[in-house]
Chains A and B, each alone.
Chain A
């Protein structure tokens, strides 16, 4: 009996040994990384590019988007005293405009544009080309595109932009803005991204030769990870999202929009080293600098932050795109007149200080916030000058400095782009525009 038991035990043991052996020798088949056809691709690498963020979230009554005066209006109204914008777009060159309830001093009706219109987005890309600005990141607000009308709007703006980017040879990439998102939205983003690929053939080098690529793959930007402002999603959620977007074949390169103090995990940043672990899985990072300094504090703040960030990224083989912005103003949005020109533009001195600061600190690319952001007054596109803006009840609109041309900030950004492209003759000294 004992012998029988022993034989049984021995045979079980030998089977288990065999199974174990098989497991050890069974090496997984390596998954091959996807390789894209790069023929005709105009922007195979993020390096050297100066690209702006493109909000594209404005709509006008009657533009077909069915969203009223979205992002222009306040409290459901767009009339004197009720506006969320601080800068008024200069629509002189737009072929399609919309009259508003606002009037200029001389009684003339003030008009706005809508990016829902193909011709308006076309004009924006034409300006980019004229001023050597490499292209834009199309903002895709998760909280907006979750709804049907938001999705319809942002898809139309994206369609306009993809077409115009091809026409004018400007780089284009999509950036999900996660503000207001929850953990549950990660699945939505995955689905939405898949949908966009099918709808617009983003990975197709012939259909979209201007879609930005990096490390041989199309680049998708995800903005808003690691901020300690009480967001309803976690770093772990974004980790899963990045993993699933990249997939085992590494389909996509990822740019992450992170808080300014991401490296030291202080101030605006969640104190979690998980953020660093996540960043190491991405390809590029862009720290959010808007509001982190003004002209007087810039050097103290950025002087050591920029080279520190760049050294960290080099060590960890991540690319780095610092952010620059022309100024900041959100008096109307926040109903607080003291916030008009909160961070003054100083005729471009502030923007150039950052462009030069980034370049001289060793940055290789720039993110400009933003092309068309008039709610927070960071727009570089053509806006009305001080003294020529429409009237706004007992408030006002902030104009760009009256002695500048309305395209001055486009021009100055373009000068920065030329410097980043390798042109010589640039320094800390703001370039002078010859007439």
Chain B
């Protein structure tokens, strides 16, 4: 019994030492950040933080070629502060822009990598304002591909990350047509009929989006607007 009592602490000590050894792998030592930019206007391309465009990256030097992913913030920026300095194959995928090619990038220290992309749709001349008891959005669409525009929407949420996936109230419309660049589109949310989610006197964020009808496409947006109801 004494022997067993002696063995247990020894065993635990051995375990601890082994565990320490495993934990002694080097920490991440680099950061990767950047912005999705419209190749024509050089403006950031607005995104969704969830179910939005994704960045896939594969670290070189490993046989497994495991794909890791980064998400993008609403303003089109992304940042990964926990990355190892190495060479990576990086590809923006399933996005709201014309598909782009994988690129080989050396990440070392603070590395900036912007993606110049062609957004499927530019949501332009956006006006979102309170008119009476309604929130009214008017805007134009400039599509850069020949596909149809599937849907347009006005989304509302208390947080600035508002968009199609993050909204408490919406007004959307299936349009399924090639958009006319001169047409003014109009969407409105009635405040009283959404009173459980939109309370008078409170601040909310509103954002206009449009979805192109292309495989794996995501919504394109204008910047969110803050309104006090």
Contacts and interface: CB of A to CB of B under 8 A. Distances in A.
A263 B99 CA distance: 10
Contacts of B98: 304, 307-308, 311
Contacts, number: 41
A143 interface: no
B145 A304 contact: yes
Given A304-B215, A307-B118, A311-B118, A361 B146 contact: yes
Interface in A279-306: 299-300, 302-304, 306
A360 interface: yes
Interface string B201-224: 000000000000111000000000
Dominant secondary structure of chain B at its interface with chain A: loop
A357 interface: yes
Interface residues on B, range: 10 to 19
Contact of A356 (B118, B146, B147): B146
A428 interface: yes
Dominant secondary structure of chain A at its interface with chain B: helix
B198 to A, nearest CB: 37
B146 A263 contact: no
Interface residues of A, number: 17
A285 B108 CA distance: 36
Contacts of A302: 146
Contact of B99 (A299, A308, A356): A308
Contacts of A360: 146
B182 to A, nearest CB: 13
A132 B148 CA distance: 31
Contact of B145 (A263, A264, A303, A312): A303
Interface string A375-401: 000000000000000000000000000
Interface hub of A263, A304, A306, A311 (most chain B Cβ within 10 A): A304
A303 B214 contact: yes
A363 to B, nearest CB: 11
Nearest to B217: A304
A304 B178 contact: no
A311 B39 contact: yes
Contacts of A299: 146-148, 213
B216 to A, nearest CB: 9
Given A303-B214, A307-B118, A311-B98, A361 B145 contact: yes
A122 B146 CA distance: 38
Given A311-B39, A311-B118, A428-B178, A304 B148 contact: no
A362 to B, nearest CB: 9
Nearest to A361: B146
A359 to B, nearest CB: 9
A227 to B, nearest CB: 20
Interface in A313-360: 356-357, 360
Contacts of A361: 145-146
A307 B144 contact: yes
A356 B100 CA distance: 23
Contact of B215 (A300, A311, A356): A300
Interface in B97-150: 98-101, 118, 144-148
A308 B144 CA distance: 11
B147 A303 contact: yes
Given A300-B214, A300-B215, A428-B178, A307 B100 contact: no
Interface string A259-278: 00001100000000000000
Contacts of B99: 264, 304, 308
A304 B214 contact: yes
Contacts of B144: 307
Contacts of B100: 308, 311
A307 B178 contact: no
B101 A304 contact: no
A269 to B, nearest CB: 14
A256 B99 CA distance: 23
Contacts of A357: 146
Interface in B139-170: 144-148
Contacts of A308: 98-100
A263 B101 contact: yes
A19 to B, nearest CB: 37
A303 B144 CA distance: 10
A286 B214 CA distance: 23
B102 to A, nearest CB: 10
A303 B146 contact: yes
A257 to B, nearest CB: 21
Interface string B72-106: 00000000000000000000000000111100000
Contacts of B145: 303-304, 306-307, 361
10 contacts: A299-B146, A299-B213, A302-B146, A303-B145, A303-B147, A304-B214, A304-B215, A307-B98, A311-B39, A428-B146
Interface of B: 39, 98-101, 118, 144-148, 178, 213-215
- The 6 A-B pairs at the shortest CB distance, nearest first, are namely A303-B147, A307-B98, A357-B146, A308-B99, A308-B98, A304-B214
Interface of A: 263-264, 299-300, 302-304, 306-308, 311-312, 356-357, 360-361, 428
Given A263-B101, A308-B98, A311-B98, 4 more contacts: A300-B215, A304-B147, A311-B100, A361-B146
